[in-house]
Chain A
Amino acid sequence: EAQVTQNPRYLITVTGKKLTVTCSQNMNHEYMSWYRQDPGLGLRQIYYSMNVEVTDKGDVPEGYKVSRKEKRNFPLILESPSPNQTSLYFCASSLLGSHEQYFGPGTRLTVT
Chain B
Amino acid sequence: AQSVSQHNHHVILSEAASLELGCNYSYGGTVNLFWYVQYPGQHLQLLLKYFSGDPLVKGIKGFEAEFIKSKFSFNLRKPSVQWSDTAEYFCAVNAGYGGATNKLIFGTGTLLAVQP
**Interface on A for B, CB 8 Å cutoff?**
31, 33, 35, 40-45, 48, 50, 58, 90, 92, 94, 96-101, 103-106
Contact = CB atoms under 8 A, between A and B. Distances in A.
B106 A44 contact: yes
Contacts of B99: 96-97, 99
Contact of A105 (B6, B43, B100, B104): B43
Contacts of B9: 40
A35 B101 CA distance: 15
Nearest to A105: B43
A94 B109 contact: no
A42 B4 CA distance: 10
B27 to A, nearest CB: 14
A55 to B, nearest CB: 13
A106 B98 CA distance: 29
Contacts of B74: none
A43 B43 contact: no
Interface of B: 4, 6, 9, 32, 34, 36, 42-46, 49, 51, 90, 94, 96, 98-104, 106-109
A90 B44 contact: yes
Nearest to B90: A42
B90 to A, nearest CB: 6
A104 B34 contact: no
B33 to A, nearest CB: 10
A58 B90 contact: no
25 contacts: A33-B103, A40-B9, A40-B108, A42-B4, A42-B90, A42-B106, A43-B104, A43-B106, A48-B102, A50-B102, A90-B44, A92-B44, A94-B102, A97-B99, A97-B100, A97-B102, A98-B102, A99-B94, A99-B99, A99-B102, A99-B104, A100-B34, A100-B49, A103-B44, A105-B43
Nearest to B36: A103
Contacts of A103: 36, 43-45
A5 to B, nearest CB: 11
